[in-house]
Each structure stands twice: as C-alpha cells, then as structure tokens.
Amino acid sequence: MEAWIVAAILAAGAVYLWNRWRQLARIEFIRNYTFPHGLFAKLNAKRPQLDTKQMQLVARALRQFFLAYLRGGRRYVSMPSQVTDDLWHEFILYTSVWSTAAATSSIRPSTAQRTVSATRRSATPPQTPAPGVGAIPVVAAAAAAVTERLNQLSG
C-alpha cells in the first residue's frame, strides 16, 4: 500500500477513537455528576409532595434525559415528565454551574431551552395523578423506557 493510504487510515482511526473517548468521558461525567447544593430544596419548594427518594428518581430521569440527548446525536429529545422539566428549570437557574456542566457534557444551553419550552407547549394537557398517587411512577416509567431504548440502540 502507498504511504498516504496507510496514513489516511491511521488518521481516520485516530479521529474515531478520539471522538469515542470524548463521548464516553461525557457519558461518565453525566452519570457521576453531583447536582449543586440547594437544587433539591428549590424543587421541594415547587413540589412539596416529593420525598427525598422521589427527588433522587427525578434526578436520575434528568440524567437519563441528558444521556438520551447525547447518544441521540444531540438532536431533540422529549422531556420524560413535567417534574423532570421542573428540576431542569431549577438547574438552569444555577447559571454558572449549569454553564460548566453543559460545556463539559456537551449539552447545549440553547437546545435545552428550546426543548423545555417545546415540552411546556405540548398540545396534550398534563395528566393529573389520582389522589394519593404521585407523579414518580410516570417518571420512573418514562425513565425505564428511555433506558430500554438506549440499550437497544447501543447494543
């Protein structure tokens, strides 16, 4: 083979490996990210019916949303639930923390804002849970569906 063909193949392989490594680093960052202090207190003020375990499930759904966005080629992804959207909105209000997290994980703030506003403009009215039933089962079901779809796409 000619030297330039070998060099081109090696360069293409290096670019692929570099991009794959960056994507895996972003995924790891999202999975291990610790949300800022006070974020859950703000969510609790907005949604007092949620206990600590339920708020952690909402945070997990938000992480899964970020992962779906990243693995989906940074294209539009629907927010799994209104309570997850509320947590994201509170997170965005932590401007400096959000900017750093968005830059590190390649979540674009403009896409985030567009997605949130699109979620709120939804033509279907929000579903009201039955008395005594929280919104968390809806979030957990949506998160499970997202996780299952990601597993299908990746493997």
Predicted pLDDT of residue 120:
46
Those residues whose C-beta lies under 8 Å from the C-beta of residue 13, and which sit 6 or more positions away, are none
Alpha carbons 76 and 149: distance in angstroms, whole number: 15
Those residues whose C-beta lies under 8 Å from the C-beta of residue 87, and which sit 6 or more positions away, are 39, 43, 55, 58, 59, 62
Alpha carbons 33 and 46: distance in angstroms, whole number: 23
Predicted pLDDT of residue 101:
75
Q: Are 115 and 108 in contact (CB under 8 A)?
A: no
Alpha carbons 75 and 33: distance in angstroms, whole number: 22
Ordered per-residue pLDDT tens for the chain, 155 residues: 688 899 999 999 999 999 899 889 888 988 998 888 889 999 999 999 999 999 999 999 999 998 888 888 878 888 889 999 999 888 888 767 777 777 777 665 444 443 444 444 444 444 444 444 444 444 455 566 666 666 666 55
Q: Please give the distance of CA 102 from its chain centroid, rounded to a whole number.
A: 10
Predicted pLDDT of residue 74:
75
Alpha carbons 137 and 1: distance in angstroms, whole number: 59
Those residues whose C-beta lies under 8 Å from the C-beta of residue 115, and which sit 6 or more positions away, are 69, 76, 77, 78, 79
Predicted pLDDT of residue 131:
42
